[in-house]
Structure 1
Amino acid sequence: MSSLNSHQTLLLLIATMSLAEGSDIVLDPEYCGISKKTRSTVKTCPVDEASWLKAANQMDCSKYDGKCSGNLKYHCLINPWQNETVQVCAPPTRIRSGYCAEYNTRGGKVQEFYINNCKACSRDYQSTEAYKYQECYSQVYKQTHRQTLQSTQPTNGHLTKYPQSPMGERKAKSPPMLRNTSIGSNVHSQVVNVCAACILQLITKIIGT
């Protein structure tokens, strides 16, 4: 068996790191893993700058600075399924006019919602300005209100609460995950099994040369 040259060593290193990451193989440069740990579901998001700044001070995202490619800032956004609002510390990003901002947990980043449906979003804006576009949250609020009504049913003149599946576990088809020019977070789960097999074959070939 011959010794590995620098190119082969680099490939082997990448393969080893990818296998170690498992299902979170990082292909997107905007991916911020630490942001996932800060994510929490909230009933509503701030409606103006003052309430946004108050929530930001309480969450104190500055303690995570240096953990990702940019400083982490407070966000309160919709999720990709529009069935919950979440607050999270994540690097801010530019959102194009006509689009709402969302936080993609699997992708570990803030990005544009996949449908161009924000009439009030008449210009490009920073994701930390999402509070200016309350219509982006309206669909979530309507859906959560509908779920609350459906979870209560009258029985003999009384209201009986029935358990329902947690929000975020909706079985409907997931929306597209590709955004802008990034590779996209949905790629992670779709290719991980194939990648693992390919990487093992690559390691075998390298060692055998």
Structure 2
Amino acid sequence: MKFLSIQDSYQIVIILLNISEVNVSDEKICVTEIEIVSSCPVTEQEYNEAARRKHCSSMKSTCTNQVEQLEYHCLPNAWGDKLYEMCSTDKVIIGNSCAEYNERGQRIQPNYERKCNGVNFGVKCPFKYFANKSYLYPGCLTLSHETTSKSPGKENSTNSHPVPIDDNDLPFFVVYPFATLLIGLVLVAIIYCIWKR
């Protein structure tokens, strides 16, 4: 019994690899001037004041081949226990998810674990929005551990290198592509075995 041709199997593998590639090699996001802060702006006026203070609009991206304007962002980390403000190229957030700053990857990304469209959320976010507009969704900017103590000297300190984090939890954008690739390889092996019979 012939299940799929070899050509069909190769096409499946290529599609799976392309899916993995899309998730791994997301567009280059330039993040700089990273600081830990005690709160983020939750109104347009507060956002504009913070953006003027940080001077992001006067900076240009040097992380990509294209010259892009940097914009002010203020976001929680993936665990929701710290808030960071930074200058960054903008990132589209999809999936009715809050935006987060990934400390290890030094990138802005959706937090798929923290949906911002639930009944108890307050101002709900749309399916797709830009991360610099996170101030419109204040529920995304609350700390999950309000009693988290700050280390002396850490608040408002500028970091130009990755912030060390616990290795126990791998970020979603790392696990998903490799899981997809592994599943794809297992499927190809099964299809190959069936085809050989």
Q: Which residue of 2 aligns with 1:62?
A: 57
* TM-score, normalised by the number of residues in structure 1: 0.55
> Which runs of structure 1 show a deviation greater than 4 angstroms over 4 or more consecutive aligned residues?
166-172
Structure with greater helix share of residues: 1
Cα RMSD after superposing both structures: 3.2
Q: 2:76 aligns with which of 72, 75, 78?
A: 78
Correspondence list, 1:28-177, <5 A: 29-32=27-30, 35-36=31-32, 38-69=33-64, 70-119=68-117, 120-138=124-142, 140=143, 142-143=144-145, 145-148=146-149, 171=166, 173-177=168-172
* Unaligned stretches of 5+ residues in structure 1: 1-26, 152-162, 185-209
Choose between structure 1 and 2 for higher RCO, CA contacts under 8 A separated by at least 6 residues: 2
* TM-score, normalised by the number of residues in structure 2: 0.58
**8 Å contact kept, 1:81–1:175:** no
Q: Are the structure 2 counterparts of residues 171 and 110 from structure 1 closer, same or farther at C-alpha, using a change threshold of 3 Å?
A: closer
Give the CA deviation at 1:111. Answer: 1.2
**8 Å contact kept, 1:81–1:174:** no
Residue-by-residue CA offset, 1:34-69 (whole Å, 9 max, x unaligned):
x24x00000000011110011001101133214133
Q: Distance in 1 between matches of 2:37 and 2:114?
A: 24
Give the CA deviation at 1:97. Answer: 4.0
Q: Distance in 1 between matches of 2:80 and 2:169?
A: 11
Aligned residues: 137
Letter of the aligned partner of 2:125 in structure 1?
Answer: C
Identity of aligned residues (%): 27
Letter of the aligned partner of 1:178 in structure 2?
Answer: F
Q: Distance in 2 between matches of 1:103 and 1:113?
A: 9
* Unaligned stretches of 5+ residues in structure 2: 1-24, 118-123, 156-162, 179-197
